[in-house]
Chain A
């Protein structure tokens, strides 16, 4: 089985500042890793994913994440945030052999002017 821990429930940040949202996972098998964003009253939208290869993954809206196998982490970063990035962000893991995502509890990113 897999599990995901998002260490911060809320992250306040000023506009144009950098941000990092932390995610750690646990799994006994190889995994695929994902970040999703959820805007108010909407479904989840895929930001980026790591399947294999380069450990630095670039996604939509200027976000990127780095897979660190030794630390079992997949932190999400953006060098300069905008007000429109205010949303809930979910880290998720899928173990090889089972096509179902396990989600973390989410991190609410609050971008202030």
Chain B
């Protein structure tokens, strides 16, 4: 199993541009989570899905952020327009209903200049 796959690993973009982060969960996992990690705020849950349906998006900072899961093998997190304060490492993780504990991807380091 290749694990949770995130792309790109690094993204540098200019303020105001649209950014799309991608995630492929482990096959058979029915939960998918998006987290953001910063020095100031640590690891924050942004949103999570169960069977492709968003369950809790209360952590999404504002309307500039959106997440989708069109099928069981793919999810995106989009920021439009991006701002310097969005600079962080964004992690995707997946889990199976009967197995508590996530498998994390390697993360996407986003820098907005």
Assess A43 versus B107: contact at CB under 8 Å? Given A98-B56, A100-B33, A103-B43: yes
Complex: how many Å from CA A50 to CA B12? 39
Q: A45 contacts the other chain (Cβ, under 8 Å)?
A: yes
Chain A residues closer than 8 Å to B56, beta-carbon distance:
98, 100
Give Cα distance in the complex from A46 to B101, angstroms. 7
Residue of B nearest to A47 (CB): B101
Q: Which chain B residues in 18-54 approach chain A with CB under 8 Å?
A: 31, 33, 42-43, 45, 48, 50
Given A43-B105, A100-B33, A102-B45, 19 additional A-B pairs, CB 8 A: A34-B100, A36-B104, A42-B106, A43-B4, A43-B91, A44-B91, A44-B104, A45-B104, A49-B100, A90-B43, A98-B56, A99-B31, A99-B55, A99-B97, A100-B45, A101-B45, A101-B102, A104-B42, A106-B43
A residues near B (Cβ < 8 Å) are: 32, 34, 36, 42-46, 49, 51, 90, 94, 98-106
